[in-house]
Chains A and B, each alone.
Chain A
Amino acid sequence: MDYKNIPSVCSYCGCGCGVLFQVMDGRLTGTLPLKTHPVNEGRLCIKGWNLHEHATSDRRLTSSMIKKDGQLQGASLDEAVKTTAERLKGIIDQYGPDSVGVLASAKVTNEENYLIQKITRAVIGTNNVDHCARL
């Protein structure tokens, strides 16, 4: 039996509460509040308490998807990137960069969110970028 607690930070919102992931035999089985974390001092909201369910959910996407014939279908990453780039380019050419808006995610890292705003401002050329957890 291998039981570990892995300290981490909740990724659901901008508060950044400290959590401990409970890992049993290599499987993520629970989340505990990190008692000595200066942000949350051992408290969490319901999202934080259930972080492990998000990570282990069977509804979690495991591949890129492209909408074909009105339905989302699995696609390779290369194909997805290519399609997205072509469509974005087409829309920008036709309607201008401000016709595009980008919603970032609380479920990726800070650095990835930085890159998202960078690509929105510097590549697409619009300030239309926002985040679900912009507290």
Chain B
Amino acid sequence: MQEKVKEWLEQGRVDIFLGYKMVEGHPLPHSFTKDNIDEVKDLVTSSARYSLEKIATKIAAQKPDIKIGLIARDCNERALNVLHIWKQLNSDNIETINVNCCPSRIKEHADCSYLEPEKPGAYKKTVGIENNADVEDIEKFSQEELFKRWMYELQKCIKCYGCRDICPVCFCKECTMDSPELVATGGDLPPEVPIFHLVRAVHMGGRCIDCGLCEDACPVDIPLRMLYRKVNGIVADVFDYKTGVSADQSPFNILGEKVTLQPKPI
């Protein structure tokens, strides 16, 4: 990998390469460039996941023509697809080096941080929703019970906005969650529970690539991905569209030549 990155930088195939470097025992996202080419020997993969593609989006917003290379696991690749579709990154300017990824429903063998299920505590089992359950599992609860359990989870929210801030596909210049004109706030910002979570869940339809970074960043362990899996299940059923799997036009994307918002024939 290091050889390849060195070659890419030297030949100008990429201007900057986003990977990881160990700094005082912590794997930190690091940008490698031609000017510090000797550092490439320190390039490593990391079991702690940072959204390198979100960093790439930030850099590209400043320098649209810059060629960016990055280490990509499956989740990074899926996020890149969405970012290409939504014109946040130009696919011609992005090069990836694929590395092994996290154990998930999609991929069993892998080696990174989060997705090994954590055992939920007894209290959470009784009144809340297990983060690693399936949508189908929790839908076995009665409506009333399910509502109670969701409200238990959602009322823990401390409105850190971490779920949005860390999300690779939350790139809006003006976020609804910050705009009293766009969201019923029940008074002041931030919006109340559960409006905050439900509005964000709707936005994740056709966007969320199920990387789990939001849940990883949530200080109070709310099973956020479950909400987004549910909306994306609906998107898959209605539009026959699997978010992040390819860089094909999204049914929600009205930029471009034609409107594609078409339900699939039933």
User: What is A's interface to B at a CB cutoff of 8 Å?
Assistant: 1-5, 7, 20, 22, 24-25, 29-30, 32-37, 42-46, 48-49
Contacts and interface: CB of A to CB of B under 8 A. Distances in A.
B31 A42 contact: no
A44 B219 CA distance: 7
Contacts of B160: 43-46, 48-49
A88 to B, nearest CB: 39
A7 B26 contact: yes
Given A36-B27, A46-B160, A49-B162, A1 B62 contact: yes
A82 B261 CA distance: 70
B30 A5 contact: yes
Interface of B: 15-16, 23-31, 33, 48-50, 55, 58-59, 62-63, 66, 113, 158-162, 165-166, 216-219
Nearest to A27: B62
A2 B158 CA distance: 34
A6 to B, nearest CB: 9
A22 B55 contact: yes
B28 A43 contact: no
21 contacts: A1-B15, A1-B16, A5-B29, A20-B29, A25-B62, A32-B50, A33-B162, A33-B217, A34-B26, A35-B216, A43-B160, A43-B162, A43-B218, A43-B219, A44-B219, A45-B158, A45-B160, A46-B159, A46-B161, A48-B160, A49-B161
A36 B217 contact: no
Q: Which 4 A-B pairs give the minimum distances between C-beta atoms?
A: A35-B48, A43-B219, A3-B31, A36-B26
Given A5-B28, A5-B30, A7-B24, A24 B59 contact: yes
Contacts of A33: 162, 166, 217
Contact of B219 (A5, A34, A45): A45
Contacts of B217: 33, 42-44
A42 B48 contact: yes
A5 B32 CA distance: 12
Given A5-B28, A29-B58, A36 B48 contact: yes
Contact of A3 (B27, B59, B218): B59
A35 B49 contact: yes
A20 B33 CA distance: 20
A12 to B, nearest CB: 12
A52 B131 CA distance: 31
B118 to A, nearest CB: 12
A37 B33 CA distance: 27
A25 to B, nearest CB: 8
B186 to A, nearest CB: 18
